[in-house]
Structure 1
Amino acid sequence: MRGAGKEKAGRLSDAALLELVQRQTFAYFWDFAHPECGMPKERNHEHYTNVITTGGTGFGVMAIIVAVERGWITRGQAIKRLLKILTFLKTAEKHHGAFSHWLDGNTGRTIPFGKKDNGADLVETAFLFQGLLTVRQYFKRETPGEQKIRTMITTLWENVEWSWFTREREVLYWHWSPDHKWAMNLKIEGYNEALITYILAAAAPRYSIHKNVYEKGWTRNGALKNGKRFYNTLLPLGPDFGGPLFFAQYSFVGLNPNGLKDRFADYGKQNRAQTKINYRYCVANPLKFKNYGKRSWGLSACDYKRRYREHSPTKDNGTICCSAAISSIPYLPKESMAALRYFYEVLGDKIFGKYGFTESFNETRNWYAASYLAINQGPVILMIENYRTGLLWKLFMQDKDVQKGLQKLGFAVSKKSTTKRAQQ
């Protein structure tokens, strides 16, 4: 492992440290990918050898774009890997065009995520297509390989029956099982990580939803609004104190919140507010956990000992999620860099390894994770890149289907949302 002992001498510049963290984390998606299908494994655990993750794959294919742009792999290597992934997805088990949360990396068959969750997961499917549409936008050259990538993605995209998941009601449902049907009965309601699901469902070229499904289902006719202040910060949407930080990250690795508005919120302000509340809670440290503060913050869903669990200002046991603060860098750059330096320079020997930062740590209990989880590794690479260049935001927001979906739902989009930041 790298990182320890570098706080006082030989410090990396911010740009060099960001590059190191991005590149090291990319190894999870490139070197640790499943050998048969090329998709990322759910986690680095012996019981998950063949368990691949649909949402994590969406993040992983976007990470491949970053790797090409930064010269870690060639464009040809990327095309070869992407065609391998897409060939697998073409024949993998689907449920009304949607994918399950987990797939067997050898067979493409659904692996149950829960007792009744052995079918479609519409939110994980949305994370997958957020990535695939970004790939389709990037690989635009008129070469056989890139043409094939675009064609295969378009076919998969057009076959997802988004509107079927409304059950002819004015809301989308998260799960459907060929054995248990709608037994899980979980509505996709705001505010949480699933905004991208409604945007893609509206953007779909064949099986799209109407605007009223968004407004009555996701927003619950405006009931997703908050409007209260926490730590002197106005929170437009969502639960009190904002919830876990993945709310501001998973849907926004491609969807650019800056300048994105509808009649319910300005999503740049929403994400900055949630992140600021999470940060200020950790600085205030009302439960007196060890080393919480300006350099050690970030509460989200992550591992703690043998369990994956949600952490937030209202569900806090002293566990810091490494991805939470790092992936917040577009929202709070100074505060995120301070956390990144603490994680790397002070705790690096304990939490920085071959695939970047591990899941989490709890200094109060002297516990440091050895695990990596695809769904948290991905945003580290992608949100750092959006901070540095705006690349993924630019690509996703330029997709014509995405633009139609946003317009259909009544979103206003700033022209700045499709332009790059100056590279850092």
Structure 2
Amino acid sequence: MKLKFNPKLILGLILIGTSITACKTPQTLQKTTVSDDSLMTLVQKQTFNYFWEGAEPNSGMARERIHLDGQYPLNDFNVVTVGGSGFGIMATIVAAERGFISADEATKRFDRIVDFLAKADRYHGAWSHWIDGPTGKSKVFGNQDDAADIVETAFMAQALICLREYYQNGNDQQQQVAKKADALWKGIDWDFFRNGQDVLYWHWSPTHGWGMNHAIQGYDECLISYVLAASSPTHPIPASTYHKGWARSGAIVSTGEKYGIPLILKHNAPENAVGPLFWSHYSYLGLNPKGLQDQYADYWKVNVNHTKINIEYAKQNPHQFKGYGENSWGLTASYSVKGYDAHHPDNDKGVISPTAALSSIPYAPEESLKAMHYFYEQKGTELFGKYGFYDAFSETENWYPQRYLAIDQGPIVVMIENYRTGLIWNLFMQAPEIKAGLKNLGFKSPKL
């Protein structure tokens, strides 16, 4: 989760691995109109390069962040992120399917990742938020947050299920990768993270126990944690934990609205405030929200409305920040002019994060494509570099840092593909245990 970020921990950059020739940063970018299809392919390919060339070499996992501007200390450059690496696995499936890399290259990379994850520090099957790439040892993320992180683990598990489904009928090597991925997913003890109660707890540490005391309750980016926990064939949680814990015994439902657009669910923010847009992305990289409903919400409407609110906010631009409008919108947690911030309409610092608009493409394709064209064709190399669009920018402050975050890059590749072909949605939703888990929680979906 982004809100826990410590701006003092900055990851250095070592460029390693095999480069993708087609992904070299252009010296000048197209100033005339490029087709939607060509632009989406270019953005996917270049952004995927973060997880390919930019990966930590021993683990094959995604570095927490990469700075191309040289403004970073040289410690912590081997830190990899579990959630961001899960997004990277899904992005690599997309890359293999689109021919950005060969099938053999993808298989070898996946094999390296699953072998690393099997040997890395685990706590009741869960991984920590950060891991040291060369050693597989947990890396301290924050005070008392030095071990198990069930939300980051859920983001990874979502990807492992997709990987298993993608390779289960492949060649011998691919089937071996699928078996390894399946074993990792089934080894997560979701029920342990209830701490004997009817709610999931985010963190556990052999040193601090349940000291973080962070109950996971909706609504935010964590829905996938409960879906996976209820779907586990080995360590499931009861349905009551979802309804009493995540849904707060029904208190998750909201009658609030913004600009006349219903929120539907109560965001973990001040009354009727709207959370950052990554809440509509992370759980839905694999979980298909189209037609997904339970007794609390229609999740397609939840995400579409969340996106529409962001677009309307940018059009109204109450603080009169430079550049805001229908072509430049999207507030989420990202780098900010001063450190790092969870941007949303009630916490606007004049910073646009490209991932917010681009990863929302299934929900607002016309508006997302307008933003994509604007970012690429009008902002050019100010905003588009070696690993795709930089993490954030501010036209008001003339601020264009050449920096990337794994958790922002991954959803761009995956959600564009879900919009184009539904690839990752289809892989995840076809998993038999996911179908059973969703039904157990009372969900309805055309995919069930």
TM-score norm. by structure 1 comes to 0.95
Task: Choose the corresponding residue for 2:136, options 96, 108, 118.
Answer: 108
Task: Choose the corresponding residue for 2:381, options 346, 349, 355.
Answer: 349
Residues 4, 219 of structure 1: alpha-carbon distance in 2 compared, 3 angstrom cutoff:
farther
Matched, 1:171 2:199: yes
Segments of 5+ residues of structure 2 without an aligned counterpart are 1-24, 68-73
2:154 is matched with 126
- SS of the aligned residue for 2:131 comes to strand
Residues 188, 3 of structure 1: alpha-carbon distance in 2 compared, 3 angstrom cutoff:
farther
Displacement of 1:374 in angstroms is 0.3
Asked if 2 retains the 8 angstrom alpha-carbon contact of 1:101 and 1:113, the reply is yes
1:274 is matched with 306
Q: Which of 160-169 and 39-48 deviates more?
A: 39-48
Displacement of 1:202 in angstroms is 0.4
Task: Choose the corresponding residue for 1:27, options 46, 49, 59.
Answer: 49
Matched, 1:93 2:121: yes
1:421 is matched with none
What is the count of residue pairs matched by the alignment? 414
- What pairs up with 1:236-385 in 2 under 5 angstroms? 236-239=264-267, 240-305=272-337, 307-385=339-417
Matched, 1:15 2:43: no
- d(CA) in 1 for partners of 2:324 and 2:394? 10
Give the percent of matched residue pairs that are identical in Structure 1 and Structure 2.
49
Deviation digits for residues 147-204 of structure 1 (CA, Å, limit 9, x no counterpart): 2112111211111110000011000000011111111100100000000000000011
Task: Choose the corresponding residue for 1:158, options 186, 191, 200.
Answer: 186
Asked if 1 retains the 8 angstrom alpha-carbon contact of 2:336 and 2:349, the reply is no
Residues 6, 161 of structure 1: alpha-carbon distance in 2 compared, 3 angstrom cutoff:
same
- SS of the aligned residue for 2:249 comes to coil
Asked if 2 retains the 8 angstrom alpha-carbon contact of 1:4 and 1:346, the reply is no
Residues 191, 388 of structure 1: alpha-carbon distance in 2 compared, 3 angstrom cutoff:
same
Asked if 2 retains the 8 angstrom alpha-carbon contact of 1:4 and 1:347, the reply is no
Matched, 1:63 2:91: yes
1:217 is matched with 245
Segments of 5+ residues of structure 1 without an aligned counterpart are 418-424
Residues 48, 279 of structure 1: alpha-carbon distance in 2 compared, 3 angstrom cutoff:
farther
TM-score norm. by structure 2 comes to 0.90
- SS of the aligned residue for 2:434 comes to helix
Residues 165, 291 of structure 1: alpha-carbon distance in 2 compared, 3 angstrom cutoff:
same
Amino acid of the structure 2 residue aligned with 1:155: A
Matched, 1:6 2:30: yes
- SS of the aligned residue for 1:81 comes to helix
* Structure 1 residue runs of 4 or more that deviate by more than 3 Å after TM superposition: 1-7, 45-48
- d(CA) in 2 for partners of 1:4 and 1:31? 22
Asked if 2 retains the 8 angstrom alpha-carbon contact of 1:350 and 1:368, the reply is yes
CA RMSD of aligned residues (A): 1.3
Task: Choose the corresponding residue for 1:200, options 228, 246, 249.
Answer: 228
- d(CA) in 2 for partners of 1:26 and 1:375? 12
Displacement of 1:241 in angstroms is 4.1
Asked if 2 retains the 8 angstrom alpha-carbon contact of 1:241 and 1:277, the reply is no
- d(CA) in 2 for partners of 1:354 and 1:47? 22
Deviation digits for residues 71-118 of structure 1 (CA, Å, limit 9, x no counterpart): 111111111110000111111000111000000000000001102100
